[in-house]
Amino acid sequence: MIKNIGIITSGGDSPGMNAAIKTIVNYSNNNNINCYGIKYGYEGLIKGNFKKLSNFIVNNILSFGGTILGTSRSEKFKTKIGRKKAYNNIIKNKIDGLIVIGGDGTFTGAKKLYKEYKVPIIGIPGTIDNDIYGTDYTIGYDTSLNTIINNIEKIKDTAYSNNKLFIIEVMGKGLGFLALNSGISIGALDIFIPNNKKYNLKNIYNILKNWNINKYSNIIIVAENKKIGDSAKTIYKLIKQKFKNIDIRYNILGHVQRGGSPTYFDRILAINFGLESIKNLIKLKTNIVIGINNNKIIHIPFNESIKKKKKKFDKNIINIYDNIY
């Protein structure tokens, strides 16, 4: 029977993680289960950095960006020695199960811990990139999209006033969920995603031949590639070279995309995921990632959730892109 559980946030933080934490803590405490926060991701598991979480501690965190537990990308946890230490701390603290919130790196670690030590674990997808296979949405994605569009609306004001064309790089590790979806929702002139052959420069050259601030959008969106800024600069140079008469600038939105108070959508998603995770952990239905598919809360085996490269764009979005761009 589950008496003590641990919560970990790992990898990049995302808005809504605290809403999931609060839900798990409240449900645990209300069902006589002790809930421990493990600080700074798997690092805290290795170091034994545990903190008991009361309802009082989480009373106000629903609206906070980031994660009150801290997070990290642990190199040590990738080693057998690291995971051994982690397991020892789990035993020492009598932790009966873990809930880990993060992305595919987080779930890869979780999977290994389960395989090696049979620790019951449930994963919750928390990343602004929406790149977890099997779930339609991840916690933080909607907030990030809204931050992106609010910032781009500001840039549109100045682009329009100055008769300029802006190339804006958004996050998303080259997979392009943030780029494609934000681009459509701000009416971008075009959208470029490095790893996706579909979206190339063929059309933009034609569009730009007749580009005019009053008729067309003044924003081109590019998805971040391996290094921050590379995508924006590459597209910028290619276009600048061909269209010397157009006044072009580039802008890299950067880390503002990760923070901020979660939106309605991310709060509800996080509360849903949190509730499903703790209810299943109690029933010992574990070693799964919680997801949402066509509005239904689902369970995804760890293995499947990790194959991020296959995740496809929403058909509706592709339909819009094909009809408008």
Verify binding: residue 29, a second copy, rule CB under 8 A: no
- 97 three-class SS: strand
Verify binding: residue 207, a second copy, rule CB under 8 A: no
CA distance 7 to 130: 21
Residue 164 and residue 248 in contact, taking contact as beta carbons nearer than 8 Å? yes
Verify binding: residue 267, a second copy, rule CB under 8 A: yes
Verify binding: residue 195, a second copy, rule CB under 8 A: no
Compare residues 14 and 225 and give the one whose CB is closer to a second copy.
14
Compare residues 64 and 87 and give the one whose CB is closer to a second copy.
64
**Interacting residue with a second copy among 51, 116, 157, 284 (CB under 8 A):** 157
Compare residues 158 and 200 and give the one whose CB is closer to a second copy.
158
CA distance 241 to 91: 62
Compare residues 47 and 88 and give the one whose CB is closer to a second copy.
47
| CA dihedral sign, ordered 11, 12, 18, 24 | negative
Compare residues 111 and 190 and give the one whose CB is closer to a second copy.
190
Q: Structure tokens of 147?
A: 């931050």
Verify binding: residue 210, a second copy, rule CB under 8 A: no
Verify binding: residue 264, a second copy, rule CB under 8 A: yes
Verify binding: residue 127, a second copy, rule CB under 8 A: no
**Interacting residue with a second copy among 5, 36, 40, 305 (CB under 8 A):** 40
CA distance 59 to 19: 10
User: What's the residue count for the chain?
Assistant: 325
Report 70-109 residues binding a second copy (CB under 8 A): 70-72
Compare residues 117 and 211 and give the one whose CB is closer to a second copy.
211
**Interacting residue with a second copy among 3, 92, 187, 301 (CB under 8 A):** 187
For residue 187, report the phi and psi dihedrals to the nearest 5 degrees. Answer: 70, 50
**Is 247 tagged catalytic?**
no
CA distance 99 to 27: 13
Find the radius of gyration of the CA atoms of the chain.
21
Verify binding: residue 138, a second copy, rule CB under 8 A: no
Which residue in this structure is represented by tokens 């008769």? 163
CA distance 278 to 318: 35
Closest C-alpha to 125, from 291, 253, 242, 8: 291
**Interacting residue with a second copy among 3, 52, 59, 118 (CB under 8 A):** 59
CA distance 55 to 132: 30
Verify binding: residue 234, a second copy, rule CB under 8 A: no
Verify binding: residue 294, a second copy, rule CB under 8 A: yes
Minimum distance of a second copy from residue 61's CB (angstroms): 9
Residue 222 and residue 235 in contact, taking contact as beta carbons nearer than 8 Å? yes
**Interacting residue with a second copy among 52, 94, 161, 303 (CB under 8 A):** 161
**Interacting residue with a second copy among 6, 65, 120, 291 (CB under 8 A):** 65
Verify binding: residue 203, a second copy, rule CB under 8 A: no
Q: Which of 13, 96, 104, 129 is catalytic?
A: 129
| CA dihedral sign, ordered 252, 224, 214, 206 | positive
CA distance 314 to 27: 33
Minimum distance of a second copy from residue 267's CB (angstroms): 4
Compare residues 116 and 153 and give the one whose CB is closer to a second copy.
153
**166 phi-psi bin (left φ>0, alpha ψ -120 to 50, beta other):** beta
Residues touching a second copy: how many (CB under 8 A)?
83
Q: Enumerate the active-site residues.
A: 129
